Amino acid sequence: MLGTLLALVIALFLQIHPIPQQIDLSALAAIMLLISIPFLIIFPLGLMWTWLPMQKAEQNATPRILEMFRLDNHIRMTGGVIVAFPLITLAMVGGLLYIYPLERNLILGLWILLLGITIDSLRHYAKRVMRYLNPFSVVTLFTEYAKATIRNNQESDLCHWVDALTEVGIKGIQRHSSAICNLIIDELQEISQLFLEASKSIAHPNKDAQSEALGISDKVGFMMFFIYQRLDMIFQKALNNRMETTCNHLIAVLGKIAVSAAKYDVSLASVPLRFLGKCASHAQNEGLEETPITASCTLLEVAKIILTDIDIRYYEIKDAFLSIINGMDILAKGTFKRNKETNIVLLMQPFKDLKKLFEQPNTKDHQDTPIILQSINRVLGEFEALLLVMNTMPKIPDIEEKKAEKPA
């Protein structure tokens, strides 16, 4: 844009202060041709020089990059402007020399303006190409396309873009790039939240043409489960590569998605909560220490948000909270199995905190509260029995001392 504005100023200046009549038109035409003809070569050379980096970007990210590059209208428009500029210059040179020699100032002014537009187009072309070579820009570009499919009710196309983001994230893990993988996870969380908000809007139909063609009756449940599966794939890949920070981030994002799903419909929150518990359990079995702690805190925090931010009087909440209790129970027992010296009272505390939430006036009269409290009391009873057994068991050093005291 800067080149166009500068060219416009120069063109206007030439109309106010015309060039001298004694300037040779042939020399002026030659200068115009010398400046414009290289642009006829720049665009094809630019395509050739960007092809190899683009193929490398495709290998590091996803084959969809080349498809997007080929169909990019911005690339086509800027390329058309760059190629058309030398051809228009030829026409202007002919008009300047043979048809309108007296209109030299007007022709030169228009040519300078076209030169500015062409230079800006070349700069825009270079920036557009760099978007495809930068993985972070590619992720943002994929997200923009995914959001566009949500606005246009194109769930089938949305699945393709979610798959593309997942592929970029998995390849980022293979290169141990936690930054790109965390960005992918954030973008998938943003897409899922936008999809839920759009599905709640009256303007979006419950069924669209693509969903009906695929035989999908519940497009919200199908699409959300599709995203959960892709997040699970990323988690398993990160777990195999021992990228604990990425695993922790994905656990936290699953908690955010569970809250968004609960705000749409509380019954939808149980699925991401089960995925959260499953991923955390796998991380615990693989020896990651921080991820199970993050998962337990996330599950408890999700429970608090659901009870405080959502009017649950007319919702069935037992599935979501039984998933929370089951996940916390598995993680607490897994922690004790890995370290028998763990303080059992600390393991019981999250369940006591959760129990207090259901003793509040706004929750104690809910129809699902008795079932949820029964499940919490069951877990607490198991830990209390375990605590009693551990307190009555003699310590190993005491047993060794008693053996030593026995006569030979």
User: How do the pLDDT tens digits run along the chain, 408 residues long?
Assistant: 777 777 767 667 666 766 666 566 777 778 778 888 887 777 777 666 666 566 665 555 566 777 777 777 777 788 788 888 888 888 877 776 666 655 667 777 787 888 888 888 888 888 877 777 777 888 888 898 889 888 888 878 888 889 888 988 888 888 888 888 999 999 999 999 999 988 876 555 555 565 556 656 678 888 899 999 999 999 999 999 999 999 999 999 999 999 999 998 888 899 999 999 999 999 999 888 888 999 999 999 999 999 888 888 888 888 999 999 999 999 999 888 888 888 888 888 989 999 998 888 888 888 888 999 999 999 999 888 888 887 776 665 554 555 555 554
Domain-terminating residue out of 100, 118, 133: 133
State how far the Cα of 247 lies from the Cα of 254, in Å rounded to an integer: 11
Does a structural domain hold residue 321? yes
Do 302 and 381 reside in the same domain of the chain?
yes
Does a structural domain hold residue 249? no
0.85 surpassed by pTM: no
Summary count for the chain: helices (H), strands (E): 17, 0
Do 191 and 228 reside in the same domain of the chain?
yes
Do 348 and 293 reside in the same domain of the chain?
yes
Three-state secondary structure readout of 212-271: HHHCCCCHHHHHHHHHHHHHHHHHHHHHHCCCHHHHHHHHHHHHHHHHHHHHHCHHHHHH
Tell me how far the alpha carbon of residue 301 is from its chain's centroid. 23
Do 217 and 305 reside in the same domain of the chain?
no
pLDDT at 281: 92
Domain-terminating residue out of 133, 161, 187: 133
Do 406 and 281 reside in the same domain of the chain?
yes
Domain-terminating residue out of 96, 116, 133: 133
Do 331 and 395 reside in the same domain of the chain?
yes
Does a structural domain hold residue 258? no
Do 188 and 125 reside in the same domain of the chain?
no
Tokens of 347: 């393991």
The set of residues, in sequence order, having a beta carbon less than 8 Å from that of 45 and lying 6+ positions away, is none
Place of tokens 């079932």: 371
Domain assignment of residue 88, given as a range: 2-133
Specify burial of residue 93 (Cβ count, 10 A radius: 0-12, 13-18, 19+). buried
Does a structural domain hold residue 308? yes
The set of residues, in sequence order, having a beta carbon less than 8 Å from that of 77 and lying 6+ positions away, is 121
How many domains does the chain divide into?
3
pLDDT at 375: 92
